[in-house]
Chain A
């Protein structure tokens, strides 16, 4: 294995991360929102988009280019009377957007605008008898929602309000023979779901309940010849899994089981070096989602010039420290 210095030199030899171009790209997406059908049909998840875009900017050290007052104002308008947040103004609340809203406010250091009990009561109200969480009042259950609930409550210092033991047991009931996790008990293992389950277990201090060698085996088998990671067996590699697989491997302490240099190379090859942005695979069209996951993946790989990100909370480490250590 290479020592860190050697890895950094290698990374720099591989070609640069086009930081300024990516910043420009993120900002242009914000502005272009209303011109095309492709853009407006995504308006229901603008809250997620805000999280992806702003976290990318922060990781690249450029969060100061946005107007944080304006964003905070908009987020407040997305809050529903139930306490949950919607993906955009006038839409229905959902736990997915609630986490993004809390994360963005954390990034902007604006958590103080929240009525913390109101938001946490919304989440607490979504826990079911078996420990699982529904995504909203209509009752769909998914381990993603368990992660979101635990992550959100932890960021708000309200983890004590739910039945944590049941929450953890439900997640464990979604574990498969291959060591991975699915959406529901018996659901197929998927890198995205694994991130959610491992992240939730990390946040609740329950990682000792994971068979790390078995899960690590499944995760490192996701690396394909090109160096990229796929999300499931027999699938093509995709930049977004750089985040999900990698963060899980870090949390269970098995990241040395994959080839980091090849992965860095794969992510850098997915950049649009002319107009900025990162795509799922080399030469595909870029989008904010993959730009975020590409940069976040590079952050986990300790790419020079990118701020460190916390693998469980999916927020820059300094933001997480501010919340938990008060600095």
Chain B
């Protein structure tokens, strides 16, 4: 090892000490960021003007503290780390973590290491070393899976509700600045599964968890990992919670009409209530069916409203594909006017036709382009035409033929070929045959 390496290594351990000291003395840190050294000056100035006494602190501090001030910035539970120290700090944190977990595993695997052994002061000192260093490391490198695993290993031995709660806070902190960290989301699911297996608090957590996703989705648009987490939560929800979530996410969806993930989440909630109403059918009254029918109808109306208000949004039309498909499959054929379950085939067909006529009207009204220059209207007309073609393909044969007649498929095909020539093989495929 060269002399230069030794110096930087020593420096790294000092930095790690400082870093872990800050984390230890301020457990309520709720924001972390890597900042350019020049930002320290700005941040310190801001702090000076807001708090007179902090100025005295800075001026009274000796040289070494001054030096620390340019590595870390910690006020009001916000932590800034200078981009200049990231490399030595990371290396020190990684080495310290790898050492601590290696030692911990040696002790853990000693033959005859009983439960008592693991509760010994020596063992718990080792555990806290692993927890301390893995925390420091993960704040620097959020997808370092081995570090998350080491925390799972220790938590699975302790099984304290308070430790699980701490873990939700910690992974929440990581997600606040790395909202796409796959490992952090995965860690949360592991913690929630542990809680669900032991404590009954899981329903409460599910609600809070869903709020967290919404908060993160606000800053991190179309974050697949975040929304996937929210979809996963649906498994743990009661019917009441599902209905509540539908209500809660509606306003957000209306404000984020391009966020396909949010509409997929709503689709999941809709499918879940539909599913639950089927499973209840034997012993329950049809109250639930009527309710689901109403919800579905309202969702279709709401979606139509959004489509007309926000012109040219792909996500809205895709959501309509889903809503309409299930409508034709389940409500037009099962509930009809929401009072009887079994109806004559002719009536069923009537219902579907009324529905499809309405869809055709919507598509036609969205196909007029007021001014060719408006890209949104152009997109709207393509989405509308694609929507009705897609739906046509999914219908039973007899309805497909009926709808194609009304569609004037030939002129639609010409229109689509002009608007979207690269997809002409698709258009000819879906209009081929039964016209």
A186-B268, A220-B423 as given contacts; A92 in contact with B224, CB under 8 Å? no
Asked if residues B141 and A44 are in contact (CB atoms below 8 Å), the reply is yes
CB proximity to B under 8 Å, residues A155-202: 177-178, 182-184, 186-190
Q: Which 3 A-B pairs have the closest CB atoms?
A: A259-B422, A188-B264, A37-B86
Give the one of A182, A188, A256, A262 with max B CB within 10 A.
A188
Interface size range of chain A in the complex: 35 or more
A41-B140, A177-B322, A182-B228 as given contacts; A94 in contact with B145, CB under 8 Å? yes
Binary interface encoding of chain A residues 24-37 relative to chain B, with 1 for a CB under 8 A from any of its CBs, else 0:
00000000000011
Asked if residues B145 and A92 are in contact (CB atoms below 8 Å), the reply is yes
A40-B90, A40-B91, A177-B267 as given contacts; A217 in contact with B261, CB under 8 Å? no
Binary interface encoding of chain A residues 191-227 relative to chain B, with 1 for a CB under 8 A from any of its CBs, else 0:
0000000000000000000000110110011010000
Asked if residues A178 and B140 are in contact (CB atoms below 8 Å), the reply is no
Residues from chain B with a CB closer than 8 A to the CB of A190 are: 224
> Which residue from chain B places its CB closest to the CB of A183 in the assembled complex?
B228
Cβ of B404 within 8 Å of any chain A Cβ, yes or no, is no
15 A-B contacts (beta carbon < 8 Å): A41-B144, A44-B141, A44-B145, A91-B145, A92-B145, A138-B152, A139-B190, A177-B321, A177-B322, A177-B326, A188-B231, A188-B265, A221-B423, A232-B222, A234-B259
Asked if residues A232 and B145 are in contact (CB atoms below 8 Å), the reply is no
**Bound CA span A259–B424, Å:** 10
> Which residue from chain B places its CB closest to the CB of A192 in the assembled complex?
B224
Cβ of A257 within 8 Å of any chain B Cβ, yes or no, is yes
Asked if residues A213 and B422 are in contact (CB atoms below 8 Å), the reply is no
Cβ of B122 within 8 Å of any chain A Cβ, yes or no, is no
> Which residue from chain B places its CB closest to the CB of A94 in the assembled complex?
B145
Residues from chain B with a CB closer than 8 A to the CB of A1 are: 425
A182-B228, A188-B224 as given contacts; A217 in contact with B146, CB under 8 Å? no
**Bound CA span A1–B407, Å:** 28
Asked if residues A92 and B146 are in contact (CB atoms below 8 Å), the reply is yes
Query: B22 to nearest A CB, angstroms?
Result: 19
Query: A214 to nearest B CB, angstroms?
Result: 8
Instruction: From the candidates B83, B152, B189, B261, name the one contacting A188 in the complex (CB within 8 A).
Output: B261
**Bound CA span A13–B344, Å:** 63
Cβ of A258 within 8 Å of any chain B Cβ, yes or no, is yes
Cβ of B281 within 8 Å of any chain A Cβ, yes or no, is no
**Bound CA span A102–B94, Å:** 27
Cβ of A233 within 8 Å of any chain B Cβ, yes or no, is yes
Instruction: From the candidates B149, B190, B232, B422, name the one contacting A223 in the complex (CB within 8 A).
Output: B422
CB proximity to B under 8 Å, residues A71-129: 86-87, 90-92, 94
Q: How many residues of B contact A (CB 8 A)?
A: 53
Asked if residues B315 and A258 are in contact (CB atoms below 8 Å), the reply is no
CB proximity to A under 8 Å, residues B242-262: 258-261
Cβ of B413 within 8 Å of any chain A Cβ, yes or no, is no
A41-B90, A178-B322 as given contacts; A220 in contact with B231, CB under 8 Å? no
Residues from chain B with a CB closer than 8 A to the CB of A64 are: none
CB proximity to A under 8 Å, residues B69-124: 83, 86-87, 90-91, 98
Query: A156 to nearest B CB, angstroms?
Result: 24
Asked if residues A186 and B318 are in contact (CB atoms below 8 Å), the reply is no
Binary interface encoding of chain B residues 27-70 relative to chain A, with 1 for a CB under 8 A from any of its CBs, else 0:
00000000000000000000000000000000000000000000
Asked if residues A178 and B321 are in contact (CB atoms below 8 Å), the reply is yes
> Which residue from chain A places its CB closest to the CB of B156 in the assembled complex?
A138
CB proximity to B under 8 Å, residues A293-314: none
Asked if residues B325 and A186 are in contact (CB atoms below 8 Å), the reply is no
Residues of A within 8 A of B (CB): 1, 36-37, 40-41, 44-45, 86-87, 90-92, 94, 136, 138-140, 177-178, 182-184, 186-190, 213-214, 216-217, 220-221, 223, 232-235, 256-259, 262
Residues from chain B with a CB closer than 8 A to the CB of A37 are: 83, 86-87, 90
> Which residue from chain A places its CB closest to the CB of B91 in the assembled complex?
A40
Asked if residues A217 and B231 are in contact (CB atoms below 8 Å), the reply is no
**Bound CA span A177–B141, Å:** 37
Cβ of B26 within 8 Å of any chain A Cβ, yes or no, is no
Cβ of B234 within 8 Å of any chain A Cβ, yes or no, is yes
Query: B276 to nearest A CB, angstroms?
Result: 14
Q: Beyond A178-B321, A187-B231: 19 further Cβ-contacts under 8 Å?
A: A37-B87, A44-B143, A44-B145, A86-B146, A87-B145, A92-B146, A139-B193, A177-B322, A184-B232, A186-B231, A186-B234, A186-B268, A188-B264, A214-B393, A220-B423, A221-B423, A233-B315, A259-B422, A262-B422
Residues of B within 8 A of A (CB): 83, 86-87, 90-91, 98, 140-141, 143-146, 149, 152, 186, 189-190, 193, 222, 224, 227-228, 231-232, 234-235, 258-261, 264-265, 267-268, 271, 313-315, 318, 321-322, 325-326, 386, 390, 393-394, 422-423, 425-426, 429-430
Give the one of B152, B318, B393 with max A CB within 10 A.
B318
Residues from chain B with a CB closer than 8 A to the CB of A217 are: 390, 393, 426, 430
Query: B94 to nearest A CB, angstroms?
Result: 8
Residues from chain A with a CB closer than 8 A to the CB of B271 are: 186
A40-B91, A183-B228 as given contacts; A234 in contact with B258, CB under 8 Å? yes
> Which residue from chain B places its CB closest to the CB of A177 in the assembled complex?
B322
**Bound CA span A258–B422, Å:** 6
A40-B91, A233-B315 as given contacts; A257 in contact with B423, CB under 8 Å? yes
**Bound CA span A85–B267, Å:** 38
Residues from chain A with a CB closer than 8 A to the CB of B145 are: 44, 87, 91-92, 94
Asked if residues A256 and B190 are in contact (CB atoms below 8 Å), the reply is no
**Bound CA span A237–B87, Å:** 33
Asked if residues B146 and A177 are in contact (CB atoms below 8 Å), the reply is no
Residues from chain A with a CB closer than 8 A to the CB of B264 are: 188-189
Give the one of A140, A234, A262 with max B CB within 10 A.
A234
Give the one of A37, A214, A259 with max B CB within 10 A.
A37
**Bound CA span A40–B325, Å:** 49
